Amino acid sequence: MNLSQQGQVSSVSLTTPVPRDEDVTFPGEGWFYYWKTSASLWRSKLETHLSGPLVIVPLNWSFHSETGDTYDFAQHRPETDLQKLCLIAEELHKKVVFLLPLSPAPFLPNGGLPHFLARTMALNEEGLAQMAVDADGSFNKLYSFFDSRVYQAFTRFTHELSQYFSRSGINADVIGMRSFSYCPYLGLRSLMTDRSIVFEQSFARYLKARTEEEGLELTNGEQEADLKLDYTVTIERLYEENAKRAFHAHWEGTLNYAFLGTSGEDQFGRLAHRHRDTRYAVDLLECLALDHVPSSALLPSRAKRSVLKRQSQDLVLNSFLLSKLERYEDEESSLFKPLIHFELAELDPKSKPRDHHWTSNGLLPYLRATYPFSYLIHRLDQRSLEEEEGFQERVLFYLGHGLNQGSFHRMLTRFMSGGRLIVDTSYMPEEFSKRLEVFMIENSLQSEKVNFHTSIQNIVLGEGRMVLIDGQKLNQLEESKLLAFWQRLLETFGLKILSLEGPEGVLHYWRTRAAHGGELNFEEVRRLSLYNPSSYKRKLTIQLPKTMALMKVIDSFHVEVQPRPSHIEVQMLPEGSVSLDFGLFS
């Protein structure tokens, strides 16, 4: 292997491209940078360049307050007039949703902090300065949110802004935004993370307080790392609670945003004007699977003109985001929501051992290869049953060693409510093993035991099914046996999933909606979106099961679709994309 070719660079710009005006003000996913264009042009720009019902407006704190003490909401600069922006949007039949950064915002200079508050650079866990390379190639340095002066100024800012909302009759919603970097190898990392001297000093005070109040004793580095996580979460919640209080009636919750192009190698590559456009298209789908809203705001405009732009519009803005903001769904319920067949419990970051995860027991590699992006990896213990409409249709995966009191209780509740669960019991604390046994005895549940590469117990209760496996034994299996194991096990769940046979490199993503009045033959309608981000032609075949019928082909771009009696042939030119709607019946 020649490492000089390792950059996997899809294209290199030899000259600095001049970004188009609309790319500067509309960085993607429905966002509008109101501070980057004259207020007199807002109407024409919104009218011309933004489709869809929503205008997502990130709030730029430093634009309204240079010092952190005084504020400008339409008093001096017309571009600070958020009331005017809302009125224009209303006239254009669009709804403004404000995004309020609750952590350093990588798309803003100084992470969004007013100049005088940008005092201590935030450091990541490796002690490296947190920064983000912006769409124009400049650095946005991120500063510590653990500085008490920042928190006090944030409190004043949210108070002033909410007062301005009241005075000017703005009734738009406000959503808190937590920012994350995304790396294919390291996953998501919160940009709130800080190990600067300011963080360490405030953490020392937190530790002292807990020592005095609870008699806490710090005995090892692992414990200290866990406490730092606790402290970070505590401060994150302080900012969130503060914003929630200030905007009470406007507040619509918090979203996690993952910024594409923020891994270490991406940032250094982008500093050198090298871009891995093909990979951003994959990263976007990975972020969706991690239950985070992907943002292409930091990517240069040239990276967003092809497949990524269509993904951003179709999958992020018009599907994932709208499904998160359910109140914006239209009355006909025509929204295609992400189709999820599998939900994997994300570990609490403090769980031990950390390295035993869905990758080592072979599940995630299997799902990635067989049902790409039809899964969701998130904290199952943080969602109530009411929030998980339709969970009975999915297979839920739990890790025994990631369980706590709350998640164990929720796991059993889901099982008793007809949920289908697979629980990897490796490293499950004895307390929960015993409670599981007691639960089975109390409910007179019988388990069917099978040995297939590992011990498997199948337990049924009404519609509910719980399969217990010892994932530790799977770790030693060779790859082909691991794949066969998961295939055999998941086949027993009888999932209605369409298989695709095609070359690597074609990305696909499934969405679903309920059937409308005129579609009574069908139980539901599923939309398959196909993307070819490569510079090669691709051909694939879709085998149609008897329970699915092709309804229509839409948004075809450089693609030819040929329906046959039992299958569909799709030929895709470079950067082509298409969506196919299927009716599903029993």
Residue 119 vs 378, nearer CB to another protein: 119
State how far the Cα of 301 lies from the Cα of 286, in Å rounded to an integer.
21
Is there a contact between 140 and 107 (Cβ–Cβ < 8 Å)? yes
State the minimum distance, in angstroms, from the CB of residue 122 to another protein. Answer: 11
Determine, following the binding rule CB under 8 A, whether residue 185 of this chain makes contact with another protein. Answer: yes
Using the contact rule CB under 8 A, the part of the chain among 178-186, 441-449, 542-550, 551-559 near another protein is 178-186
Cα three-residue angle 90-93-99, rounded to 5 degrees: 65
Least distance in Å: CB of 377 to another protein?
16
β-sheet bridge partners, residue 422: 397, 467
Stretch that binds another protein, among 19-27, 182-190, 374-382, 577-585 (CB under 8 A): 182-190
- Contact map string, positions 212 to 251, toward another protein, x by CB under 8 A: ----------------------------------------
In the bound state with another protein, the residue whose beta carbon lies nearer, of 9 and 335, is 9
| Number of residues forming the site for another protein (CB under 8 A) | 35
Other beta carbons within 10 angstroms of residue 434's beta carbon come to 10
Report the distance separating Cα 84 and Cα 39, nearest Å.
9
Query: Considering only residues 301-360, where is the footprint of another protein by CB under 8 A?
Result: 355
Is 62 a binding residue for another protein by CB under 8 A? The answer is no
Nearest CB to another protein, comparing residues 183 and 416 = 183
Residue 61 Cβ vs another protein, minimum distance, rounded to whole Å? 19
Eight-class DSSP state of 542: E
**Are the C-beta atoms of 536 and 578 separated by less than 8 Å?**
no
111 by DSSP, 3-state: which? helix
Q: Which is nearer to another protein, 184 or 545 (CB)?
A: 184
**Residue 158 near another protein by CB under 8 A:** no
**How many whole angstroms separate alpha carbon 474 and alpha carbon 485?**
9
Considering the complex, state which of residue 143 and residue 336 has its C-beta at the smaller distance from another protein. 143
Q: How far is the CB of 261 from another protein (least distance, A)?
A: 12
Tell me the two tokens of residue 404.
């706590």
Which residue of 55, 121, 132, 260 would you call a contact of another protein, by CB under 8 A?
Answer: 121
Q: Which is nearer to another protein, 50 or 290 (CB)?
A: 290
Tell me the residue ranges of DSSP E strands in 5-153. 11-12, 54-58, 95-101, 131-133, 139-141
Q: Give whichever of 118 and 288 is closer to another protein, judged by the CB atom.
A: 118
Selected from 81, 173, 236, 266, the binder of another protein by CB under 8 A is 266
Q: What is the DSSP letter of 451?
A: E
Alpha-carbon distance of 68 to 344, in angstroms, equals 42
127 binds another protein (CB under 8 A): yes
Span between the terminal Cα atoms of the chain, in Å: 51
- Of 42-50, 181-189, 505-513, 547-555, which part binds another protein (CB under 8 A)? 181-189
Query: Closest distance between another protein and the C-beta of residue 402, in Å?
Result: 17
CA distances from residue 569 to 501, 538, 559 in whole angstroms, order as listed: 10, 11, 10
Among 60, 179, 181, 263, binds another protein (CB under 8 A): 263
Nearer to another protein, 268 or 536 (CB): 268
Interface with another protein in residues 130-149 (CB under 8 A): 131, 133, 137-139, 141
Residue selected from 267, 313, 370, 404 as contacting another protein according to rule CB under 8 A: 267
CB of 270 to another protein, least distance (A): 8
For another protein, the closer CB: 185 or 442: 185
428-437, long-range: CB < 8 A, 24+ apart: 428/400, 428/401, 428/403, 429/400, 429/401, 429/403, 432/400, 432/403, 432/408, 433/400, 435/408, 436/468
Report in angstroms how near the CB of residue 313 gets to another protein at its nearest: 28
Cα–Cα dist 119/144, whole Å? 8
Binding mask 269-298 for another protein (x = CB under 8 A): x-xxxx------------------------
Rounded Cα gap, residues 559 and 550, in angstroms:
16
- Residue 77 in contact with residue 164, Cβ under 8 Å? no
Contact region with another protein (CB under 8 A), list: 268-276, 289-297, 331-339, 559-567:
268-276
* Residue 6 binds to another protein (criterion: CB under 8 A): yes
369 binds another protein (CB under 8 A): no
Helix or strand run (H / E) with residue 102: none
Candidates 229, 225, 303; CA nearest to 259 is: 303
Please state, in angstroms and rounded to a whole number, the distance separating the CA atoms of residues 249 and 310: 34
Angle at the Cα of 223 from the Cα atoms of 218 and 226, rounded to 5 degrees:
130
Q: Which of 126, 213, 217, 430 binds another protein (CB under 8 A)?
A: 126
Q: Which is nearer to another protein, 3 or 18 (CB)?
A: 3
The residue ranges of DSSP E strands in 502-547, in sequence order, are 507-514, 524-531, 538-543
**Smallest distance from the beta carbon of 25 to another protein, in angstroms?**
21
Where on the chain is the footprint of another protein (CB under 8 A)?
Answer: 1-4, 6-7, 9, 121, 123, 126-129, 131, 133, 137-139, 141, 183-186, 263-269, 271-274, 355
